[in-house]
Amino acid sequence: MSGSNGRKYDNKESTLPTSQESCDGTQFCRTTSACGWQIVGASVPGAIHRRSGAPNQDALSWWSAEGEKPLAVLCVADGHGGSEYTRSHIGSRRAVKEAQMLLVSEVMPRILDGDGLHNLAQFKRQLSEQMPKLLVSRWRASVFEHATDNPITEDEISHANGGEAGEPRATKPSSPVERRYGATLLAVLLTPELHLYIQLGDGDVLTVTADGEVVRPPFGIDSHLFANYTTSLCSKEAWRFVRIHFQPIVDSPPEFIMLATDGYANSFADDADFEQVARDLYSAIKQDGLAAVAGRLPDWLEATSKGGSGDDISVVMAANLSRPK
């Protein structure tokens, strides 16, 4: 993998297929159907933010290939909001952009070339050591660039009163500039040979097997996640809190993958109810089609936020319906 400013790997240019679609924003629902993956994503402002007029703090993006292989990258980020994090809606958009670029341009080519899979143990060790630092450093460079072009205002400084009760808070925040842009991050890279899951902070990654079993990637426990506190891209030495899971595809890979910001799970009474949502969404895509689900998804999410957490909710889902049964 390249240095913090590079977009190459091992001195080779990336030969990846062109992107079918890539999207990010503050309020939308879009779909992609290519290379075997049926992808739909939606982001809606929470009921609390609608009442206060605050911007949607979430962001999401995805990339999928036009080629024959089922290749995709999914990313979701959740800005902290609140008085200390006046630019976290920008920080979340920068997070999904940098994560997607890193995974598509540098990690995926190593898998497709067979470089990474030839010695999987070494690849996992190198990636676990390098990628968290690259991911965090590029996000920080991106937000510092934004802050240089758009200096922090006196009004932003005057409103940094430590936050109200119930607002998300980053553990061990780093510099004052980075704190303004604080956000969590979820990302998944999907190839026929390997699925790679990444998490920093709260949020949920759920997969559904062909048998309907809901499985979460076995990330290590983040002891810093408690009450309203979360690890964050703006945390001091944030790279230490990046959790990674490698899933070599041997027999039956997951048929459905869902990434969601924490406003979704927090709207349900328990994990079982939330996990059932993943099954229901996958069933809806299979039965009614991607376009039908995309048409209803924003309304579903808005109703969930209104009746539940009141927080912004962002979801991106990928279903592979082309595999033989």
Using CA atoms, how far residue 280 sits from 32, 37, 124, 277, 323, in Å, is: 20, 18, 33, 5, 20
Flag whether pLDDT at 9 surpasses 60: no
Flag whether pLDDT at 235 surpasses 90: yes
Question: Which residues are CB-neighbours of 79 under 8 A, at least 6 positions away?
Answer: 57, 58, 59, 85, 88, 89, 90, 91, 92, 181, 182, 183
CA gap 268, 147 in Å, rounded: 37
**Most confident residue range from 58-72, 114-128, 220-234, 299-313:** 299-313
Q: Which residue has the tokens 């939330």?
A: 274
Please write the tens of the pLDDT for every residue from 18-31.
444 445 444 455 66
CA gap 245, 190 in Å, rounded: 12
Please write the tens of the pLDDT for every residue from 257-314.
999 999 999 999 999 999 999 999 999 999 999 889 999 999 999 999 999 999 999 9
In CATH terms, the superfamily for domain 28-320 is PPM-type phosphatase domain (3.60.40.10)
